Amino acid sequence: MIRTAPLLALALAAAACTTTGGGPAVDRLAMTPGQWSIRSIDGIAAADGAQLSFADGRVSATAGCNRLAGDYRIEGDRVISGPLVATRMYCEGRMEQERALSALLEGGAEMSFLGEMLTLRGTSHSLEAMRPAVGR
């Protein structure tokens, strides 16, 4: 027993130093629900009023023109949603971001959190959103 104690201590120390995904584990199910103010889509500032909302297994979103909505679930570090329903208005200058938002939500985007920032990354698109400020 005395000889195995140092090996056990070494194994525990090594396990404590490992990380998953380059950062601390995040409970995505607990972090995701609520309102998110979309700041950028594909690195371009989002329109005023662009938002993303997760509640009770449903997602809704807008890039400032049409509304998207559907069911969602979290699988590992990905948000899976769809099929999405959408309104179909034309809004000049916003359609590209709207298509990117839809592709992210329906494409199983990888999600990550840094403080109050949510990042979604897909194969061709990305999105950054923040929790709205409280008390404003």
**Ordered alpha helix ranges (H), 18-107:** 28-31, 95-106
Average pLDDT of 58-84? 93
Q: How many structural domains comprise the chain?
A: 1
Residue 108: phi, psi to the nearest 5?
A: 70, 50
Q: Is residue 118 situated within a structural domain?
A: yes
pTM: 0.74
pLDDT in tens, 27-44: 665 677 889 999 999 999
Q: Is residue 5 situated within a structural domain?
A: no
CB contact at 8 A, 106 and 81? yes
Q: Is residue 2 situated within a structural domain?
A: no
Least confident of 4-13, 71-80, 92-101: 4-13
Least confident of 7-16, 21-30, 114-123: 7-16
Give, in order, the Cα–Cα distances in Å from 89 to each of 20, 86, 121, 127, 132. 42, 9, 26, 22, 26
Q: Is residue 17 situated within a structural domain?
A: no
Looking at per-residue pLDDT, the higher value among 7 and 60 belongs to 60
Q: Is residue 66 situated within a structural domain?
A: yes
CB contact at 8 A, 72 and 105? yes
Instruction: Give residue 80's domain range.
Output: 26-130
Residue 35 sits in a domain whose CATH number is: 2.40.128.270
Q: Is residue 62 situated within a structural domain?
A: yes
d(CA 98, CA 130): 18
d(CA 110, CA 107): 9
Average pLDDT of 88-115? 91
Q: Is residue 106 situated within a structural domain?
A: yes
What integer best gives the mean pLDDT of the chain? 81
What residues have CB less than 8 Å from 97, skipping those under 6 apart?
A: 41, 42, 44, 46, 47, 50, 63, 64
Average pLDDT of 68-79? 93
Q: Is residue 12 situated within a structural domain?
A: no
Average pLDDT of 80-105? 91
